[in-house]
Structures are given as C-alpha cells and as structure tokens.
Amino acid sequence: MAEHNRMQQIIDIMVKNGWRITEQRRMLAEIFTKTEGYLSPKDVYDLMTVQYPSVSFDTVYRNLRLLSEMGALEQFYFMDGGLKFRGSCTTHHHHHLICVNCEKTLTFDYCPMETSLTLPGDFKIINHRFEVYGICETCQKEA
C-alpha cells in the first residue's frame, strides 16, 4: 500500500505541474517507487529502454531534471558516481547524511536554515537542501 501511495504522490506532482500522464511517465514514477537507493540517469535510461526501446537518453534526463525541480525527485551529486536521483520524501522536512562509500543515506530532522541567517540584499529563500557527506559506521568498521 505504501508503494502505491508513493507512486501516486509522484503522479500527483506531475499532474499539478501540468504534465499529461503517459505510460512512460507512469513507468518513471514506478521506477522510483520500487527503488530505495539512488539511480543515475543511465540507470533510469537502461530500465526505461527495456519496455520503451525508442526512448532517448536526452528525454529521460530532461524528465529527471524536471521531476527534481517539481519536488518529486531528490538529486544528489556523488564525487565518484556523478548525478543521481531518488524519490523524494514528501511527508516531512529533513536533511541527509550520505555515505560516499556505499551511498547509504540517513535522514536527520535538524535544519540549519531554522537558525537566524543574515543574507545580503533582499534575498528570499524559496527552497534549500542540506547534505552531509561522510563514511557510515558500517564502512568505517570494514576499512
């Protein structure tokens, strides 16, 4: 049931942003619903071409970036693995600790943006992300 709700959340975000829900877009939502970890654009492309062999890499990449801008996906840049995406958690505001070795991600609710910030000019913040990269406890023990 939770999987269906996550997929519906992604589809609802697409609809809210004026997207027509095609079978390919439904499959994109399904891919990120069934995957817990991070996917590179190439990973998503490879999964999409199984069912849609004519889909272009550019189309997949463009859709991933747009879904990220809409808030349906979170994007992260890994030093070794490049840009990767995963489904967003839309239930509460949190930030991430990300292991650079195994990509395990832990969430934490502390938000540095809740402290008073002195910003130059009349800068108005509309969104933010905060990720901390390091090595998880398991990888430290294996080293």
CATH architecture label of 2-87: Orthogonal Bundle (1.10)
Cβ-contact 85, 74 below 8 angstroms: yes
Per-residue pLDDT, 131: 78
| pTM of the predicted protein model | 0.72
Per-residue pLDDT, 2: 61
Q: Decide which of 3.30.1490.190, 3.40.228.10, 3.30.70.330, 3.80.10.10 is the CATH code for 95-142.
A: 3.30.1490.190
Q: Which residue ranges are tagged as binding site?
A: 93, 99, 102, 114, 128, 136, 139
Rounded mean pLDDT of the chain? 85
- Identify the band that residue 119 occupies on the pLDDT scale cut at 50, 70 and 90: confident
Q: Where in the chain is the domain with CATH 1.10.10.10?
A: 2-87
Q: Which residue ranges are tagged as binding site for Zn(2+)?
A: 99, 102, 136, 139
Per-residue pLDDT, 95: 77
Q: Which residue ranges are tagged as binding site for Fe cation?
A: 93, 114, 128
Q: Which of 65, 6, 57 is nearest to 31 (CA)?
A: 6
